[in-house]
Amino acid sequence: MSPRLHHLVALALLGARIAPATGAAQTAPNATLRSAQLAYDNLEYRQALSLARGALRERLTGAERARAYELLGFTYGAMDSILKAVDAFKEVVLIDPERQLDPNRVSPKAYSAFAVALGQVLLVRQLHVDSVSFVGGQGAVPVRFTVTQPARVTTRAIGTPGTFVIDSGAWNGQVNLRWPARLPTGDPVPPGTYTLVVDARLGQNTFSASQPIRLTLGRVDTLPAITSLPGYQFLPQTEITPQSWRPVGLAFLYTGGALVGTLGLESSSLGSSSKRELGIVGGAALVTGFAMMLRKPGVRPAAANILYNQLLREQIARRNQDIAKENVTRRREVQVTVTPLPKGTPGAVR
């Protein structure tokens, strides 16, 4: 394979991987830009360059302008003009700072040129404020953004109720901040619509990004009193008496004890004593024992269950006391809720 053919194959492969460019031509309203996209798709890079530059001389929207520079960047990348590709991508991110390239769908050359371009321009990108709700003083609003160059970064919440500095420091790369939304007195900041503004300054270069948010204050939910403990249930306080041999057994035991004692203590000189008396009383005891044994089972208090239930009730009462104390505290607290708003929301400070 000749070097020229090799180069053409490489360019073809590179062009095939630039999926974001493919198809975009069909939606580009500017005719010149659409022609440039078609030329790029057909691997006619010189023509694509010429058409893209021509489109930039025309009246374009911001998105079209960014798309034209992006097309230039991809084309220069495909033509190994990396420096020019970087310059083109710098223009892209200056127009659209949130522009992202998918590393799985663009060529490594174009992606690395885009990354280099990002490092050469001061930008604040990917500013995100998460929806969050917390008890005042016990949480914070997470704020994330990326600074593309080392810079002095000031983050503020600007709103009708006032302006509050969230953070000021030297940052580079991914930045994670936490805003407790509290005043120096410890009170929560007043409710309202704020704009979170991130200002980055590097020498004479400055860049700002913003995100509107709504901050509301509410009452903290109180805890309901409990009537049971999870996993613990009250037990029945009575139990059915089981039928047993115990009554007749005890009657036999007592009567037998009396008989043995009588036989053992009898005087030999007086002869065997009368058993009539023991027979009457012992018989009555045995009959009573049998009657008790055959008696229909009755209900009796279950002492262990009663004690267990008492302990459980004490635990529940103790827990409810704790809940009541907790609720007293909660009624003094404020629930802070922060919701990010779409950019351009009325009321947000721009």
Partner 1 sequence: MRWAAVLLAALTPGAAAGQAVLVGPELALANYREVASGLRYNGTGFGGSASVRRGKLSAEAAIARLTFDPASGSGATAGFKATQVDAWVAYDVAAYASVEVGVLHRSVTPEFDATSVGAVRVGVRSFSEIGPGATMVFRANYLAAPKFSSGGRAAVSLDLGIGLDVRLLGRLHGTAVYAFERMNRKVNPGGTGEIDAPIQQTRARVGLALAF
Residue 64's H or E segment, with its range, is helix 62-78
Min CB(262)–partner 1 separation in Å: 5
Binders of partner 1 in range 289-318 (CB under 8 A): 289, 291-293, 295, 298
Q: What is the dihedral of CA 112, 113, 119, 124, to 10 degrees?
A: -90
Beta bridge partners of 214: 193, 339
**Contact (Cβ atoms closer than 8 angstroms) between residue 191 and residue 206:** no
Decide if residue 273 touches partner 1 (CB under 8 A).
yes
**CB closer to partner 1, 235 vs 293:** 293
Report d(CA 58, CA 292) in Å as an integer: 112
Q: Which stretch binds partner 1 (CB under 8 A): 94-102, 169-177, 277-285, 332-340?
A: 277-285
Report d(CA 210, CA 339) in Å as an integer: 14
Decide if residue 97 touches partner 1 (CB under 8 A).
no
Min CB(304)–partner 1 separation in Å: 17
For residue 105, give both structure tokens.
């769908």
List the x/- string, 234-263, binding to partner 1 by CB under 8 A: ------------xxx-xx--xx-xx--xx-
**Contact (Cβ atoms closer than 8 angstroms) between residue 143 and residue 155:** yes
Q: Give the count of beta carbons closer than 10 Å to the beta carbon of residue 41.
A: 17
List the x/- string, 195-234, binding to partner 1 by CB under 8 A: ----------------------------------------
**CB closer to partner 1, 134 vs 254:** 254
Beta bridge partners of 124: 147
Name the site residues for partner 1 (rule: CB under 8 A).
Answer: 246-248, 250-251, 254-255, 257-258, 261-262, 265-267, 269-271, 273-278, 280-282, 284-285, 288-289, 291-293, 295, 298
